[in-house]
Structure 1
Amino acid sequence: MPPPAASVGPSCGLCGASAIVHWQRRLTDAEFAAHLEWETGRRERALALTDPQAPPPDFGPLPLPQGCTTTVFACAAHAIALDAAAQIHAKDCTAPSTSDLPGCNCTPEPPQPDPEPDTPDGSVVLPPGWTTRG
């Protein structure tokens, strides 16, 4: 009998089985520091490769902790509730800890409101030359 096929794709953060669900949580302080270090290095490498006669690239501001998340993967046995998975969890969230399932130890962030429409009537403004199918 051949050995079982290796898992392809993400695996459960608790048991290593193939993941079938995921949710988001904020980066821990150590994860954010590593991310910030990586982003700073990326910008420095890009600047070193730019043409000195061209304007320097505009990278925008460095990321902030409140704008960074990571994906948490879980198998069916270690999944949290669907409503909780739809929200962003705290950086110290215990999910998928078996002692807290199907929940977690944090209060997830409230869902973000839908963005305001581009126009008062809710229609979308298309760029010049674009048309809608009608």
Structure 2
Amino acid sequence: MTAAPQPMPAPVPSPVSGPVCGLCGQRAVVNWQRRLTDEEFAAHLAWEQERRDRALQLADPQLPAPDFGPLPQPAQCTTSVFACAAHAIALESAALVHHGACTAPAAADLPGCNCTPEPAPAPDPETSPADVTGVLPPGWTIGDR
């Protein structure tokens, strides 16, 4: 008598690689920027100071000391926020920098968020669509052309 073949085990889902949605953990398909919270900025500043201290320790004493410039300021630091398609905020909002206290992607606020994002930077006056049209690949367009 031969043994009955054993059924194949169910495949184990592979872990998601890369960024994941901050709300559900699924693979992220969109991202936007927000300022760091006070705690995140303090940690970033400590990391930057540690990096500088270590570089000074490793620097050749016969050469001039490294010049790092000023420490970063909160207005210079952002972090990426990731979301899956179901928890994404609106495209117009995702194109802007959000406040550190922004809770997006919060299910209650979707497709928006609980903050007023920073205004978009002014367009570069030296670049017009005519300046870059010649360098775009065929089929690519600028704006509503």
TM-score above 0.5, yes or no? yes
Shift of 1:40: 0.3
In structure 2, give the amino acid aligned to 1:6.
Answer: P
In structure 1, give the amino acid aligned to 2:106.
Answer: S
Q: Distance in 2 between matches of 1:48 and 1:117?
A: 44
Corresponding position: 1:105 with 2:114: yes
In structure 2, give the amino acid aligned to 1:9.
Answer: G
Shift of 1:117: 3.5
Q: Which runs of 5+ in 1 are unaligned?
A: 123-134
Shift of 1:116: 5.0
Corresponding position: 1:87 with 2:123: no
In structure 1, give the amino acid aligned to 2:120.
Answer: P
Q: Distance in 1 between matches of 2:102 and 2:82?
A: 13
Aligned residues: 119
Corresponding position: 1:52 with 2:52: no
C-alpha offsets along residues 31-51 of structure 1, whole Å, 9 cap, x if unaligned? 000000000000000000001
Within-5 A mapping of 1:1-134:
1-115=10-124, 117=126
RMSD over aligned Cα, in angstroms?
A: 1.4
What TM-score do you get using the length of structure 1 for normalisation?
0.85
| Structure whose alpha-carbon radius of gyration is higher | 2
C-alpha offsets along residues 47-96 of structure 1, whole Å, 9 cap, x if unaligned? 00001010011111100000000000001111000000000000100110
Percentage identity across paired residues of the two chains? 64
What TM-score do you get using the length of structure 2 for normalisation?
0.79
Q: For 2:93, what is the secondary structure of its paired residue?
A: helix
**C-alpha distance 60-117 of structure 1, shift in aligned 2 (>3 A):** farther
Q: Which runs of 5+ in 2 are unaligned?
A: 1-9, 132-145
Higher mean alpha-carbon deviation, 28-37 vs 107-116, is at 107-116
